[in-house]
Amino acid sequence: MTEEQDMAETEAAERVLTAGDFFESDLPDPEEIPPLACGAMADSKPFVAAPEHQEALGFPGELVDNWHDKAIDKMGELVGKYQSLRVYLDSCVKCGACTDKCHYFLGTGDPNNMPVARQDLLRKVYRRHFTWSGKYLPWLVGAQDLTEDVLDEWYSYFHQCSQCRRCSVYCPYGIDTAEVSMAAREIMATVGKGQKYSNEIIGKVHTLGNNLGMQKKALEATLEDLMEDIEDETGVEIDVPVDKKGAEVLLVTPSADFFAEPHIDGLIGYAKVFHQAGISWTLSSYASEAANFGVFVGSYENMREVALRIRKAAEDLGVKRIVFGECGHAWRVAYSFLNTLAGPFDFLDQNYPVPQHICEVTHDLIERGVLKFDKSANDHIRLTFHDSCNVARASRMGDRPGGQFEIPREIIKACCNHFYEMSPETTRENTFCCGGGGGLLTDDLIELRKKGAQPRMRALQQVADDHGVTHMAAICAICKSQFSKVMPEYGFEMDAIVSVHQLVSNAIILDDAQSAEPEESEDKPSAEEPDESGEEAEE
Amino acid sequence: MLLGGLAYKITQYATTPAPLKIPTTPAPTTRGGVVLRFLREIVLFETLFKANKWIWLFGWVFHFALLLVLLRHLRYFIQPVWGWVAFIQPYGYYAGFAMVAGLLGLWARRFLVPRMRYISAPSDHLMLALLVAIGVSGLAMSFIGRTDIVAVKAFFLGLMYFDWQPLPADPVLLIHLGLVLILMVIFPFSKLLHAPGMFFSPSRYQVDNPRERRHLAPWAAKLETDAEGGGR
């Protein structure tokens, strides 16, 4: 390392991390196991869904009178419908491998946040009603009746799981607490005790197509402003179209990309990539949301209904490909479930995977030399990459296992000069959740969110100290919102979290001539050049 | 009881649908890859090694010592004794100690590590006690007071060919056999189900190919046909 680089590194560290005194001088280990603090988080509960939010999803408005029997019936139904749930509830041997793996446990010390203990909250009732030993010898196997206190406990602790699947990586049987949490939440919603944040949002998607409840006109106005901003900044006219029939690509992206920071900088990045590659694309006002909160509440039916909007949008607009923007749980539902929920997608171009991740699109274009970058445009930042939990452990990119780790990193390295990895125990499949996933990104859970971010923040602090890292990139709308909220608590600037396509946007070299007269797409044989003057889709 | 109960649970696991693709990624993209994943898991306890070295050490030693011990016991059920069963006799003999040591290590963790203490139910302790007692009574017959093993073998061979022979009235033998019987009875009702269960864990056995192949459970398919009348 030259002296100059060395100095730059020290300066960078000093510049951004003056507030780093938050930590003791010798840095705490991200995986440090806290002493048990029983009941520490028992009072952490999200707001209960209002009757109208419940009823809109087909759940009862408030806790029903026969909630106990209804809950047990629902549990019986779910263990019959989900092999995962049945096998996971039976198979755990309490070996303890998962006990120190959950970021909420590491951040709070509450033993009910150990994955096995969280599962046991449901398992003890399952055993009482569905196993011989629990029926006749409950004391022996820790079986318990479902009382009001137990229901309260469920409501607290099943809303302290971000469904990040880190425990399932370390469980010798692959037991995934996310499956148990989803089942518990579905049971609670079914008896009238749903969660406000998730259910209200799912209702908005069912009626308006996005989590924000944004109407088509508002979306169009927002995007027009955005196009003006891009033109002011770059001098190039770059289209961000909505409901353009006959476009090649339907881009489905989290609605946070339309307005939130740093999400919107990612959206600008997608637009520049499509523009530079000459790929015609469109957003849909009918399916203007990539996130599918149905997965958070465990409801297959709601998840399916949200997914079918995307299919309908693709059919109505006559696109050939579906591409998803940067979003974690959304990419899980898209990659792993979309074909199941809303397939088969035989009407789309089978030369491309359905659906595709924007990172796959960009990476492919980089590999084929279609995109060129001026890396120095990102020289003001020193980067690390946060693997978003559901991309890392519940999906894939590219055609090889682990592509979800390599592809975003290769994109970052193609457009940045300074990239440093965090500790390997905290990245790739071992990554820590941001602390806000799985339907917990709500202000009524802010204490939990701050504490849950602790392991990631400690890992970040390490690379900040060792390599002068100033920024962390992510490919998930939840990660981005969560980190910009909690990073100041840990002594970082709130804009230290960036979108991967924000880096692309900074460094991409735009060919001005192309904007005047679009050339033939290099990306695809362009037998059918999409109709640029396409009509607006009907609402 | 053992076979009937196990057959029931295995059928139940095998027939419960998995509506969604949920392999924990990165996961194999082919069937062959999944077989390899399971081989590594069964032979090396790969995941446990990644998670916690102590649990791995005790758990792995216990399970493999148990396997050796069980194979060694084959000699009491077959006549003539197969060559490889004769060959492993001395190893199986001493594996009994390793098995009990592994169990005691696992048990000690349940007392010494606060996290383990928190998640342990009485049944978890009793299960370990049962296995330790089986191991110790077995070792006692080999290394302390030797049982008339020829008569034991005659008894089991008789049992298999419906030709009743007397069982030696050695109390240690009777304790050993009684405890094994108890273990076989509770197998299908207890956490020992982890043995068949791991093969039915969707996060491990599923192939990572949801984009290439559409996966649809019967009850989920029914949602589609039901909806068809009204259109999508």
Best of B61, B119, B186, B193 to substitute, by most chain A Cβ atoms within 10 angstroms, is: B119
SS3 A116: helix
Q: What is the CATH number of domain A51-194?
A: 1.10.1060
Best of B6, B11, B25, B50 to substitute, by most chain A Cβ atoms within 10 angstroms, is: B25
Residue A70 in this model has a pLDDT that exceeds 50:
yes
Percent of chain A with pLDDT over 70: 90
Q: Alpha carbon of B206 to those of A84, B25, B202: distances in Å?
A: 11, 10, 5
Average pLDDT over residues A164-191: 98
Average pLDDT over residues B213-229: 86
Confidence of residue A523 (pLDDT cuts 50, 70, 90): very low
Residue A24 in this model has a pLDDT that exceeds 50:
no
Query: In whole angstroms, what is the distance from residue B20 CA to residue A534 CA?
Result: 37
Percent of chain A with pLDDT over 90: 89
Nearest to B88 by CA among B70, B113, B106: B70
What ranges in A401-499 are assigned the alpha helix state H? 403-415, 446-452, 454-467, 477-486
pTM: 0.91
pLDDT in tens, A471-512: 999 999 999 999 999 999 999 999 999 999 999 999 999 986
Residue A20 pLDDT: 42
Average pLDDT over residues A146-163: 98
Average pLDDT over residues B77-94: 93
Residue A22 in this model has a pLDDT that exceeds 50:
no
What are the sequence ranges of the domains in chain A? Answer: 51-194, 202-516
C-beta of residue B72 within 8 angstroms of C-beta of residue B88: yes
Domains of chain B: 28-228 (1.20.950.20)
Kindly report the average pLDDT of chain A as a whole number: 91
- Farthest-apart Cα atoms in chain B, separation: 78
pLDDT in tens, A452-471: 999 999 999 999 999 999 99
List CB contacts (< 8 A) between B202 and chain A: 83-84, 87, 174
Residue with tokens 């909220």: A485
pLDDT in tens, B138-194: 999 988 888 888 999 999 999 988 888 889 889 999 999 999 999 999 988 888 889
Q: Which amino acid, residue A307?
A: A
Best of A38, A81, A83, A100 to substitute, by most chain B Cβ atoms within 10 angstroms, is: A83
Angle, helices A263-277 vs A216-234, to 10°: value is 70
CB contact, 8 Å: B22 with chain A?
Answer: yes
ipTM of the prediction: 0.94
Query: In whole angstroms, what is the distance from residue A451 CA to residue B48 CA?
Result: 27
DSSP bridge partners of A385: A473
* CA-based nearest residue in chain A for residue B113: A96
Quote the Cα angle for A114-A390-A422, to 5°.
80
CB contact under 8 A, B25 and A337: no
Residue A11 pLDDT: 47
CA distance, residue B140 to nearest chain A CA (Å) = 28
Secondary-structure percent of chain B, ordered helix, strand, coil, rounded to 5? 75, 0, 25
Residue A21 in this model has a pLDDT that exceeds 50:
no
Residue A430 in this model has a pLDDT that exceeds 70:
yes
CB contact, 8 Å: B48 with chain A?
Answer: yes
